[in-house]
Amino acid sequence: MTDRDSNNRILIVGTIPEMCADRRAKGSLSCSDPDGQHEGEFSQLETLLIERRAQTRDLPDGFRIHTALDEGGAIEMVRQAVARKKPYALAFVGIDTSPGVESFDTIERMWETDPELQIVVCSADAGTAWIECTERLGHSDRLLLLRKPFDHAEVWQVALSLIEKWNLGRQASVKLDEMHEIARATNEKLHEQIKKRAEVEEELRYLAYHDQVTGLPNRVYLLDRIEQCIARSHRVPGYRYAVLYLDLDNFKLVNDSMGHDCGDKLLQDVAQRLRTCMRTIDTVARIEEDVAARVGGDEFIVLLEGLHDLKDSARVAERFIEVLGRPFRLDGREITICASIGIATSERKYVRAQEVLRDADTAMYRAKSRGKGRYAIFDPEMHEAAKRRLEIESKLRDAICHEQFQIAYQPIVDVRSSELVGFEALFRCHLPGIETTPQEIINIAEETGLIMQMGCWVFRRACQDFRTWLDKFPHAGDLRISINLSRRELVDDDLIESVRSTLHETNVPVGQVCIEITESGIIENGDRAIVRLRELRGLGAQLHMDDFGTGYSSLSCLHTFPLDAVKIDRAFTATMTKDTRYIAVVKAIVTLCRALGMRVTVEGIETPEQLELVDSLGCDLAQGFLFARPMSSEAVQDLLRSTPDRLMAA
Ligand code: C2E
Ligand code: MG
Ligand code: MG
């Protein structure tokens, strides 16, 4: 409140002149209009107040004095002043003890109209008047008694103090209002912040519990739900639950070849399909993290709660496999994927959710190893297998770090003449403290991706050894070297460049290098494999389809692949002599390969009978323990040294 706003308005209620007049009054009060247009004579009181104006520095404008002739007029003036927001700071009201009752009424009504108004009661009979006054109006800091006759200084002092008090009170109240306003605004801001914070927390909670791509609950949420199921299964007899661990076969291929957006869309479609064949109480979640050291992203978990029969979990798995096996439309193309599912159930008394997930994951791994689109229910033996797998993987990583590998070379001979025509390079690695086979190591290396480094090493070393033999033994000039390439290497984008540079650096005759790729590796990668095979052929290398007859027996599509030879798997060879139906199949393979200009190699020849049989069937080349076991590079050199005619004894 500024000085200009300060209140200096005083009302003098007209009964005073009479009171003033009765003793020392020098003048009489007259009524003035509320705008302060004084007319008539000033009262003694007014005169006193106005006389002092010049002497006050606190109120440069002095007092603004209005007078009311009667009590009714006084109340009206107070009302109008309040309405105009120019209230009076104080009013002088004269009372006479005998008819004082009306004056008190007036004061009460003035206060009803303006509760802040300060009243100075003027009376000649101070003692009685004050007693009567306080009995009627009570004690209040807005009520003061001024005894007549007036003392100049006293009147002025009272007026000035009360004006000052009123203004200070008003200032305090304005300040208070301001503080209230600040407090209100601060409060509002605080509320806003609290609300925002709650929203952010909600968002964070959502993010913490949901997968961003599919909107499905994530691992954290799921673990919590599984914990609840575990607790319930301990509490409620007969309560059953099952966890299905789903892994999408071929997802990586889609992601790599069609881009991450398509991959995400596929995951969303998968989530949608899963949801449609679940009950509402079941939960499906997506796992983004690395589980059991396998990079995830294409893994879903389904929690089936409150099952009547645990066998239902297998039925659900079958339904998922069927539903996910239907083609998906992505980017205008039809994509087929399938799921491998592992199941862990409350049959085993789990204590922690992690254990359930671990076992379901182990079972999923088993399902995958049986072929795509299968499910498997966990049993403890699987756990042991998974532990072993992890141990092998970790030891293999160590071996890779220290390049603790060797290559064993197995001779390949001409069936008819028994002449040595080449060697197959076979990876060997001794893992300390664990009995394992090369096949097991290769499988784990494929699953974990370690095969990429190993394969590169084998290719280079085999080419180097081959170069050495050619240089040392002129009669070995037309020998061939066969090198295995895994399915993972086949689809690797850097493959062609890596093979080209190794062939160039080791300076081997490219036409004598045979690359063996398994039948399954070729079939599963379809068009992609064909492109890769053509590129490899473009480098000048020969291509052999390995392990023919183990799974797909892709006789009907053999002609679609650019191949130079087919290698009949040793398992096929073993059964051939026992089951004559296999003989007919080999016959058909040989006939077809002849027609397509391919040669046929037979693996796993262990007996002279087997050799005789494959000879009679028209197979070209043979490989097996009957001729020689895989041997070191030094042993190969000894063999070449000792057989100038390259004839191998069968
Ligand atoms: P594969 O390419 O079919 O290799 C032939 C396998 O048959 C070799 O097993 C060999 O030791 C075995 N074998 C040869 N003759 C006989 C026989 O008369 N009787 C029996 N029972 N087995 C015989 P190995 O060395 O255990 O290799 C297993 C598989 O591991 C290979 O099968 C190949 O698929 C894979 N592999 C080996 N080395 C490499 C490699 O450097 N890279 C890749 N990608 N795979 C490799
Ligand atoms: Mg092979
Ligand atoms: Mg083979």
Q: Concatenated DSSP letters for 64-126?
A: EEEEESSHHHHHHHHHHHHHTT---SEEEEE--TTTHHHHHHHHHHHHHH-TT-EEEEEESSH
Of 442, 550, 575, the residue with max ligand 1 atoms within 8 A of its CB, to mutate for a pocket test, comes to 442
Q: What's the gap in Å between 475 CA and the centre of ligand 2?
A: 25
Buried/exposed 67-98: b ≥16 CB within 10 Å, e otherwise = bbbebebbbebbbebbeeeebbbbbbbbbbbe
Atom of ligand 1 nearest to the CA of 486: 44
Intervals of CATH 3.30.70.270 along the chain = 219-378
Q: Rounded to 5 degrees, what are φ and ψ at 424? A: -105, 130
Confidence of residue 97 (pLDDT cuts 50, 70, 90): low
C-beta of residue 612 within 8 angstroms of C-beta of residue 591: no
Residue 482 has pLDDT above 90, yes or no: yes
User: Do the bridges between strand 299-304 and strand 242-249 make them parallel or antiparallel, or are there none, so unpaired?
Assistant: antiparallel
CA dihedral sign of residues 379, 380, 385, 389:
positive
Q: Which of 43-57, 391-405, 563-577 has the lowest mean pLDDT?
A: 43-57
Answer whether 640 contacts ligand 1 (Cβ < 6 A). no
Answer whether 624 contacts ligand 1 (Cβ < 6 A). yes
**Model confidence over 62-76: pLDDT tens digits?**
788 888 888 889 999
Cβ neighbours of residue 299 closer than 8 Å, sequence gap 6 or more: 245, 246, 247, 248, 286, 287, 291
Q: What's the gap in Å between 415 CA and the centre of ligand 3?
A: 17
Answer whether 606 contacts ligand 1 (Cβ < 6 A). yes
pLDDT > 70: percent of the chain: 88
Fold assignment, 219-378: Alpha-Beta Plaits (3.30.70)
Query: Does domain 9-177 bear CATH number 3.90.1150.10?
Result: no
Intervals of CATH 3.40.50.2300 along the chain = 9-177
Q: What is the pTM of this model?
A: 0.61
Answer whether 547 contacts ligand 1 (Cβ < 6 A). yes
Residue 427 has pLDDT above 80, yes or no: yes
Helix axes 219-235, 152-209, angle to 10 degrees: 80
Answer whether 446 contacts ligand 1 (Cβ < 6 A). no
Intervals of CATH 3.20.20.450 along the chain = 391-642
Q: Determine which helix (DSSP H) or strand (DSSP E) holds 261, and give its type and residue range.
A: helix 260-276
Answer whether 43 contacts ligand 1 (Cβ < 6 A). no
Q: What's the gap in Å between 618 CA and the centre of ligand 1?
A: 23
Q: ω into residue 34 within 30 of 0, thus cis?
A: no
CATH number assigned to the domain covering 391-642: 3.20.20.450
Residue 551 has pLDDT above 70, yes or no: no
